[in-house]
Structure 1
Amino acid sequence: MQNFLEKLDDLADIKNENALARMLERVAFIFMILMFVSAPHSIAATQIAWLTGMFAWFIR
């Protein structure tokens, strides 16, 4: 799991020292990817992914 998180941090260019901020940036990035994947299939899923990602980004 640690290796996956390190690869995700490299992909999203996450370099925060604070663990909470790092986790929230990961959540926002994952929901951004989910938004792009679900866009052609479901408007509701796209909106939920966008709102959740924006909420995580706002909290960060």
Structure 2
Amino acid sequence: MIIYKAYTFSIQQLHHKMDNNVQCLYILLQNMESRIVAKILIILRKQQLELPNHIVFRSL
């Protein structure tokens, strides 16, 4: 997630130099990225719930 945040931050810096059309495209791509990340987090959450409780507590 740290790499992902650094990547989005570098894109945001470039974003200020872009014209309106490219900004619209950037916003669409950002929405797609956030949906993908949300799906990954949901999958990870489900996998954690499927594990026996003692394994989850041990990992904490």
Confirm or deny a common fold (TM above 0.5). Answer: no
Pair member with larger Rg: 2
Q: TM-score range by the shorter chain?
A: 0.3 to 0.5
Q: Does 1 or 2 have the higher relative contact order (CA < 8 Å, sep 6+)? A: 1
**What TM-score results when the alignment is normalised by the length of structure 2?**
0.40
Report the structure, 1 or 2, having the larger helix content.
2
